[in-house]
Amino acid sequence: MDQITISMTKYMNDHPNLKYIFFGGKGGVGKTVMAGTAALWSAKQGKRTLLASTNPVHSLSNLFEKDVFGKAAVVCDDDRCFAFEIDTKDTIERSKQEIREKINWFLRFADLTTKADDFVESATMNPAFEESAMFENMTDIMFEDKYDFYVFDTAPTANARRLLGMSKVYSLWVEKMLKSREEAKSLREMLSFSKKNEADPLMDYLIGFKDRMAKAQSLLTNDQLTAFFFATLPESLPIAVITRFINWFYEFGIPVGGVVVNGIIQKDQVSKDASEFVLNRVKMQDEHMEEIWQIFGDRVRAVIPLFETEVKGNKMINRMVDHLFA
């Protein structure tokens, strides 16, 4: 096989209820450009669309040449197309306060006089805390349901996998926490002379969190609503990375929409007397395209040419739409 059987456009038409799409891949393969292009295409279909970046190192403002950090703003001169770089600072501070309140309550429950601040600092110093905050922001956006269609520009694939897999990991964690909490509450009631029913904010929090994760997992694993697309260049490392990660996404039950190959040198623009560098690049490209067709086959959704200039700004993104959704 060396041609596309199900294009990006056909995939979208075959999944008319699709609402959440994600773009990921190795760093530097053009996933932000693909996400921006998909958001503009969706807006052109008449859908009020939000493009959100979950990458801690945002680049949407640079792509659109407009500041979209911390607020949704119209981009590409289409009043239905919005872009938004998520600011995790507020979420992190809110999470710290919530953790502080829960730990303080737990310490009072256990008759301990230790202050919560040391525990809070330990919990929030975890390198995964920012990822957790980003996941919270992402699910908030999905649950608010203010737009018709959502496109997420994710971090390089390893981070994206952890980010999207959090709903499953969190669900397993909260089940264990609930069981421990029920056992502790039962033991306290057995040892207490008072039969008065006391409020249990920690248990309420865990039950609410469990419901929230169940909802997130339901949305992220629904192949009629959600799809994850991988971008790659015709080079060995990006191909190897997404080959490995596609299988990991299947483990989390996240639907894989397909693969977009970016940056193809157009052979009809390369003369026989081109420099050795260019001819070698074309030869290498041919070898890797053969590998791509063998590995991904009918999961290839689009093959994007290498443009003569950087894809940046409204004019180039509009031009990209014709290639990604050919």
Reported as a single tens digit per residue, the pLDDT across 149-197 is: 999 998 765 555 665 665 566 666 667 666 776 776 676 666 665 666 6
For 188, phi then psi, to 5°, come to: -65, -40
Q: Which of 213, 136, 153, 188 is nearest to 27 (CA)?
A: 153
The answer to whether residues 303 and 4 touch, using CB atoms and an 8 Å cutoff, is yes
Among the residue ranges 17-21, 82-86, 106-110, 233-237, the one predicted with the least confidence is 106-110
- The arithmetic mean of pLDDT across residues 247-253, rounded, is 80
Tell me the C-alpha distance between 115 and 107, whole Å. Answer: 8
pLDDT > 70 in the chain, percent: 78
The model's confidence at residue 143, banded by pLDDT at 50, 70 and 90, is very high
Q: What percentage of the chain's residues is helix, strand, coil (to nearest 5)?
A: 55, 15, 30
Q: Is the dihedral of CA 207, 210, 215, 218 positive or negative?
A: negative
Give the DSSP letter string of 181-233.
Answer: HHHHHHHHHHH-S--PPPP-HHHHHHHHHHHHHHHHHHHHT-TTTEEEEEEE-
CB 232 within 8 A of CB 292: yes
CB–CB of 268/61 below 8 Å?
A: no
pLDDT computed for residue 118 by the predictor: 64
Q: What is the pLDDT of residue 301?
A: 98
Strand order in the sheet with 226-232: 73-74, 81-85, 49-53, 149-153, 20-24, 226-232, 256-264, 300-305
pLDDT above 90: residue 212: no
Rounded distance between C-alpha atoms, residue 239 and residue 232, angstroms: 6
pTM for the model stands at 0.83
| Residue whose entry in the numeric block shows the structure tokens 């999944």 | 15
- Tell me the pLDDT tens digit for each residue of 258-306: 999 999 999 999 998 999 999 999 999 999 999 999 999 999 999 999 9
Instruction: State what percent of residues in the chain have pLDDT above 90.
Output: 54
Higher-confidence residue: 56 or 229? 229
